[in-house]
Amino acid sequence: MGIVPKMNSLAPADAMPPSVKIFFRMCVLLAAWWVFILVKFIAFPSVDYLAMIAKLHAYVPDIRQRDIALTAGRTFLWSSILLLLAWLIAYRRRNWARWTLVSVFVFVEIVPIIALHQDAATAGLGTFWRTYIHYYWSAPSAYALLAYKAALIVLVFSGNARPWFRPAAPTA
């Protein structure tokens, strides 16, 4: 009798590297975190935020609903993009998705820094940018999120992940 291969065994070359598995799980966790923050923002808005909404309510009566809709849309858009790219990276081995994810993360983190340093006194920046940069870069959670994103990039570009994205050699 001939040798019958096991049906559920994966060849070592086909096994997903541990760093790619961790990367995918961390991406799912990050998307879940963003949704949790959205729910927290809707359920428990900050006092400063409510004071700002109260001032703007005279000009735009449904400002809170519009802001919630905009924030929810933005959260679900970014979560969907992250999860799609993570799935393409981990399960479809798409190298371009790795580079797209890195490009998006770098763009999102670098643009506020460039905007801040364009004009040292921030006189050329609008109130929105000054407020965004002040609150974003003064919160310890922003640095933790930046470190988390950096870890994602390191995991997907680490040494044992590189062969995962190389095209398989044709078999004869």
83 close to 101: Cβ distance less than 8 angstroms: no
| Amino acid sitting at position 113 | I
The Cβ-side half-sphere exposure at 171, using a 13 Å CA radius, reads 1
With a pLDDT cut of 90, the percent of the chain lying above it is: 44
pTM over the 0.85 mark = no
Name the more confident of 109 and 2. 109
List the domain boundaries for the chain: 17-161
CA 92 – CA 167 distance, rounded (Å): 11
pLDDT of residue 9: 44
158 close to 22: Cβ distance less than 8 angstroms: no
CA 130 – CA 44 distance, rounded (Å): 24
Backbone angles phi and psi of 57, in degrees to 5: -60, -30
pLDDT digits (tens, 9 = 90+) for 15-45: 889 999 999 999 999 999 999 999 999 999 8
